[in-house]
Structure 1
Amino acid sequence: MNRHAAREKALQILFQLDMNDKHPEQAIKDYLESLEIDPYLQVLVEGVSEHKNTIDDTIANHLENWTIDRIASVERTILRIAVYELSWQDDVPQNAAINEAVELAHKYGDDKSGKFVNGVLANIIV
């Protein structure tokens, strides 16, 4: 599985974790069923879950005229993945993390999601 696919699957798993109270490792196993667990997928899901409060604080501190609770769940999950990569994954270039987040927002969000995600992440990396 390449990193793009790992991010996409991480988005789906983390979105589900937001809705129910499962352990990240169990959520990965449930989602993938018989497929082999990808190491980067596991890093993303467990890392975002472990640092969720810090990540949410970072996002909240860089929002303009918004609160984190008003962000749609899909966009919030995409931002969490990107902020995790920007903050804890030294081998992921900033541009790659942002571009991947915007691409996921275009695919899973609404017409304005990509621009919103890009704007929030631009505020964070400044």
Structure 2
Amino acid sequence: MKRRTAREKAFQALFQINNSDIDTDEAIQHVVEEPVVDAFLHDLVHGVMNHRSEIDDRISSNLENWSFNRLPKVEKTVLRMAAYEMKYKEDVPAQVAINEAVELAKIFGEEDSGKFVNGVLSKMV
């Protein structure tokens, strides 16, 4: 599975987890067709969930004129994934994580989601 596809699937799984009472592995199985889960996808979902409070604190400290709790669900999920990649995935350059997050925000979010995500993540570099 390509990393872009893995990121889309990870977004979908994390969105499910954050918006319903579903187990992490069950959410992953809902979004993949193959019986074997891609390692990058698995790491993204579990990594975000394992470091969520630290990631949320990092995002919160880089918000201007927004509180973390007021963030739309799509943007919050995308920001969490990118913040995880930027901090914990040494093989992913920060700019790649930002670009991929912006693309996810454009696909799943509102018209200005990509710009918002880019602004927040750029402050984290």
Cα separation, 1, equivalents of 2:31 and 2:83:
23
Shift of 1:67: 0.6
Cα separation, 1, equivalents of 2:8 and 2:61:
25
Number of positions where the alignment pairs a residue of Structure 1 with one of Structure 2: 125
Structure 1 position 54 matched with structure 2 position 50: no
Counting only pairs closer than 5 Å after superposition, residues 88-103 of structure 1 correspond to structure 2 as 88-103=88-103
Q: TM-score, normalised by structure 1?
A: 0.94
Cα separation, 2, equivalents of 1:30 and 1:101:
21
Query: Who is 1:8 aligned against?
Result: 8
Cα separation, 2, equivalents of 1:115 and 1:28:
28
Shift of 1:106: 0.8
Q: TM-score, normalised by structure 2?
A: 0.95
Cα separation, 1, equivalents of 2:35 and 2:115:
34
* Identical positions, percent: 49
Q: Secondary structure at the match of 1:92?
A: coil
- Mapped contact 2:13–2:30 kept (Cα < 8 A): no
- Mapped contact 2:15–2:74 kept (Cα < 8 A): yes
Gapped regions of structure 2 (runs ≥ 5): none
